[in-house]
Amino acid sequence: MTGNLPAPGTLSFLIVGTSRSGTTLVQRLCSELPGVWVPAETHFWALADRSRYRYDFPLRGADRSAMVNWAVKELDEKTLGVNSGDILRETRVRDRRIGLFHVFESMVAAMSPPALVLGEKTPGHIAYWEHLTQAQPHLKLVAVVRDPRAVYRSHLGVPWGERDAYSLAERWLLHQRSIQDAERILGPQRCLVARYEDIVADTAPYQEHLAHFLEVPYEPQPLDDDLVARYPLFAERESWKTGAMGAVTTDRVATWKGELTDEDRAIIEHTCGDMMADYGYEPSSTAPVPAPSEDSRLRIDAYRHWYATVAALSDLPLY
């Protein structure tokens, strides 16, 4: 332990990756460590670009209340499990210059019990990793990687999941490139990357590694039911996440082998093959790769454009 932890209420780390990669399990493993909490996903940075055009930053006076009220409404107060008043109280203990990061941090603090080490888990925030870690030199990343074929199979099992193999493969590829960049630039002191398959195969060593990375004792305790009821790790409607709260098994590691078509496997392996090899994921399909449909091309182009636009943002009002 270094003894250099930020003050209580400071956002210390982000859990990122492609959705359905095991980030909820990692959220739970972090929250079982003493003094650590990771509340429900905020999806806060989905609002970042729009907020720049609605409010004057840094937020002062009425703009502070207006922005927080708007953010809570847009993100859904019921899903967050917190109201704008709780968040505004948290902003008052921060710097007078309130920017987007301060609102984000205040939201996480309002959704959490008093904790020394606060984290946030929205997988898609990987797109903003460079902006956030440059602005906050103490901020760490915990990244989770999972076989994209398993990720796609898992998407097919949730109501909001991606149903297009080409589009899912492109998202996975862009996310892994960002994770590899973060690992290279931030180094092992600020970026911890692990494969889902390794986490579920040998959970205790990974959780111990998490404790050292977050600079807390490795003294995991089961989550307290009353605490989780008051500060949930996910919204009640997100029933697909309940499996991450049970016994950790390898049961879902290879289910994709019997559930994906040869065509879908071929598409994913064609798109992600080199990156898959970097993580030790072996190809399995010899089927021909079909040409993407017009809808697939449009979805891929739209996501590439959005991702590149986020990376190129130069005027995010973080402070």
Instruction: Dump pLDDT digits (tens) for 98-148.
Output: 899 989 999 999 999 988 899 999 999 999 999 999 999 999 999 999 999
Q: Is residue 4 part of a domain?
A: no
**Contact between 38 and 50 (Cβ < 8 Å):** no
3-state SS assignment for residue 121: strand
Residue 277: which CATH number?
A: 3.40.50.300
Say what the pLDDT of residue 98 is.
87
Residue 80 is predicted with a pLDDT of 80
Which residues is 13 bridged to in the sheet?
119, 140
Number of other residues whose CB lies within 10 A of the CB of residue 11? 24
Does 93 map to a domain? no
pLDDT given at position 5: 56
Whether the CB-CB separation of 101 and 131 falls below 8 Å is answered with no
DSSP letter, residue 124: G
Q: Is residue 251 part of a domain?
A: yes
Q: What is the pLDDT of residue 7?
A: 65
% of residues, the chain, pLDDT over 90: 77
270 close to 262: Cβ distance less than 8 angstroms: no
Segments in the chain below pLDDT 70 = 1-8, 78, 93-96
H helix runs in 187-236, sequence order:
196-201, 203-214, 225-230
Q: Report pLDDT for 103.
A: 92
Q: How far apart are CA 104 and CA 10, in angstroms?
A: 11
Question: What CA–CA distance (Å, rounded) separates 74 from 264?
Answer: 35
Residue 94, domain member (yes or no): no
Gap between the Cα atoms of 204 and 218, Å rounded: 10
Is residue 78 one of the residues assigned to a domain? no
Q: Where are the beta strands (DSSP E) in 153-220?
A: 191-195
Identify whether 232 is part of a domain. Answer: yes
Residues in the chain: 319
Q: Is residue 148 part of a domain?
A: yes
CA dist 184 to 99, 130, 148, 253, Å? 28, 12, 22, 27
Contacts of 19 (CB under 8 A, 6+ apart): 123, 124, 151, 155
Residue 142 lies in domain: 11-42+111-312
Residue 1 has what pLDDT? 44
Confidence at residue 40, expressed as pLDDT on a 0 to 100 scale: 95
Please state the domain count of the chain: 1
C-alpha Rg value of the chain to the nearest Å: 20
Instruction: Look at residue 286 and tell me if it is in a domain.
Output: yes
The C-alpha atoms of residue 145 and residue 183 are separated, in whole angstroms, by 12
Crossing angle of helices 100-110 and 84-91, rounded to 10°: 120
